[in-house]
Amino acid sequence: MSPDPTLLDDLEWRGLIAHSTDLDALREALGERSVRFYVGFDPTAPSLHLGNLVQILTARRLQDAGHTPYALVGGATGMIGDPRDSGERILNSLDTVKEWVERVRHQIEPFLSFDGANAATMVNNYDWTASLSTIDFLRDIGKHFPVNRMLARDVVKSRLEAGISYTEFSYVLLQSMDFLNLYRDHGVTMQFGGSDQWGNLTGGVELIRRSDGGKAHAFATPLIAKADGTKYGKTEGGALWLDPEMMSPYSFFQFWLNVEDEKVGELLRIFTFFGREEIEELEAQHREKPFLRLGQKALAEHVTSLVHGAEETERIKAAAAALFGGGELSGLGADTLCAALREAGSVTVDSAEGLPSVVDLLVQTGLSKSKGDARRTIGEGGAYLNNTRIDDPDQVPSAADLIGGAWLVLRRGKKNFAGVEVT
Partner RNA sequence: GGCAGGUUGCCCGAGCGGCCAAUGGGAACGGACUGUAAAUCCGUCGGUGUAUACCUACGAAGGUUCGAAUCCUUCACCUGCCA
Residues in touch with RNA (CB under 7 A): 86-88, 162-165, 227-228, 230, 234-237, 254, 257-261, 290-291, 293, 296, 320-321, 324, 357, 363, 369-373, 375-377, 380-382, 394, 412-416
Task: Pick between residue 14 and residue 159 the one whose CB is nearest to RNA.
Answer: 159
Q: What angle do CA 201, 204, 209 make, to 5 degrees?
A: 130
C-alpha distances (whole Å) from 57 to each of 110, 327, 332 are 11, 38, 38
Task: Pick between residue 70 and residue 384 the one whose CB is nearest to RNA.
Answer: 384
Task: Pick between residue 123 and residue 340 the one whose CB is nearest to RNA.
Answer: 340
Helix (H/G/I), strand (E/B), else coil: 70: strand
**Residues 197 and 154 sit within 8 Å (Cβ to Cβ):** no
**What are the start-end ranges of the E strands in 225-371?**
346-349
Q: Who's near 141: CB < 8 A, 6+ residues apart?
A: 173, 176, 177, 180, 207
CB of 390 to RNA, least distance (A): 11
Task: Pick between residue 331 and residue 413 the one whose CB is nearest to RNA.
Answer: 413
CB of 110 to RNA, least distance (A): 26
Q: What share of the chain is helix, strand, coil (3-state, %, to 5)?
A: 55, 15, 35
CB of 412 to RNA, least distance (A): 5
Q: What angle do CA 31, 65, 6 make, to 5 degrees?
A: 50
Task: Pick between residue 144 and residue 371 the one whose CB is nearest to RNA.
Answer: 371
CB of 318 to RNA, least distance (A): 11
Count of Cβ atoms closer than 10 Å to residue 329 Cβ: 19
Helix axes 294-308, 264-271, angle to 10 degrees: 30
CB of 331 to RNA, least distance (A): 17
CB of 233 to RNA, least distance (A): 9
Task: Pick between residue 218 and residue 320 the one whose CB is nearest to RNA.
Answer: 320
Q: Who's near 191: CB < 8 A, 6+ residues apart?
A: 37, 38, 39, 40, 179, 201, 204, 205, 216, 217, 218
CB of 69 to RNA, least distance (A): 34
Task: Pick between residue 311 and residue 380 the one whose CB is nearest to RNA.
Answer: 380
